[in-house]
């Protein structure tokens, strides 16, 4: 068997468009998940008992079931109840809720890592609640969590390949289409793997630079 990459290079522009779609899905789901996680972690740390239970149930459900099953439910089970989500909607909602659960846990760990002494000091200095969050809590938590958050983002970038199953034409979907037409599976999937490696390297580089500039944090870098 001979590998002929020349035969599959013509798919490259199409694959790169797919890669951009993968990147956008990961970015949107991560950003929204980060917000959900912030609310969830705040409730779990400072909220009333009932709300804490609710958040705990949400986190348990989404971290103990496969993401594939979650999106499958949104895409194929909800129409039975009259809710018809488009492929992109189902994938985005599924990945966002899933990310929200993991990011709740990650951020809760960050809240717990905050020494009480720092909050006491802020209180002694007469900081308002907002000032305390801004100058004491936020910088500490962001520094502590940056590596975990970067890691989660990279996991999500690769996780977008699941969207192919639900009809979103991202990178994996386009690779599968090309594979069905040309049968050059090894060339196509190795090219796809290289693009995914490229995506995560780009993501890592952005996170690393952003972390260094904004928070003086050393994030994971290749």
Q: Which residues form the interface with another protein (CB under 8 A)?
A: 1, 3, 7, 59, 63, 65-69, 76, 79-80, 84, 87, 98, 102, 105-106, 109, 148, 151, 155, 159, 161-162, 164-167, 169, 172-173, 176-177, 179-194
- Smallest gap from residue 188 Cβ to another protein (A): 8
Q: How far is the CB of 135 from another protein (least distance, A)?
A: 27
Number of Cβ within a 10 Å radius of residue 194: 11
**Closer residue to another protein in complex, CB, 136/187:** 187
Our CB check for another protein shows the closer of 22 and 179 to be: 179
- Neighbour-count burial for 110-129, b at 16+ CB within 10 Å, e otherwise: bbeeeeeeeeeebeeeebee
Cβ proximity of 215 and 143 under 8 Å: yes
**CB of residue 106 vs another protein: minimum separation in angstroms?**
6
CA gap 30, 60 in Å, rounded: 19
Q: Do the Cβ atoms of 197 and 176 come closer than 8 Å?
A: no
Rounded Cα gap, residues 157 and 98, in angstroms: 13
Residue with Cβ nearer another protein (31 or 68): 68
DSSP three-state, residue 27: helix
Distance CA 152, CA 57 (A): 21
Which CB atom, from 122 or from 174, has the smaller least distance to another protein? Answer: 174
Tell me how far, at minimum, the Cβ of 115 lies from another protein, in Å: 18
**Shortest gap between Cβ of 12 and another protein (angstroms)?**
14
- Nearer Cβ to another protein, position 191 or 199? 191
């Amino acid at each position: 068997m001979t590998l002929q990459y020349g035969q599959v290079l013509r798919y490259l522009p199409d694959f790169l468009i797919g890669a951009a779609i993968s990147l956008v899905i990961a970015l949107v789901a991560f950003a929204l998940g980060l917000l959900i996680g912030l609310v969830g972690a705040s409730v779990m740390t400072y909220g009333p008992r009932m709300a804490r239970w609710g958040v705990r149930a949400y986190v348990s459900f989404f971290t103990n079931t496969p993401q594939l099953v979650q999106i499958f439910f949104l895409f194929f089970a909800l129409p039975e109840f009259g809710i018809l989500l488009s492929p992109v909607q189902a994938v985005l909602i599924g990945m966002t809720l899933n990310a929200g659960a993991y990011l709740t846990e990650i951020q809760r760990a960050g809240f717990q890592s905050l020494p009480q002494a720092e909050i006491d000091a802020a209180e002694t200095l007469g900081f308002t609640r907002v000032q305390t969050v801004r100058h004491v809590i936020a910088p500490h938590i962001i520094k502590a969590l940056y590596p975990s958050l970067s890691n989660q983002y990279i996991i999500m970038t690769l996780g977008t390949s699941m969207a192919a199953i639900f009809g979103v034409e991202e990178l994996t979907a386009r690779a599968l289409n090309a594979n069905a037409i040309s049968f050059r599976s090894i060339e196509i999937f190795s090219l796809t793997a290289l693009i995914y490696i490229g995506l995560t390297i780009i993501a890592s580089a952005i996170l690393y630079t952003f972390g260094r500039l904004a928070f003086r944090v050393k994030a994971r870098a290749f």
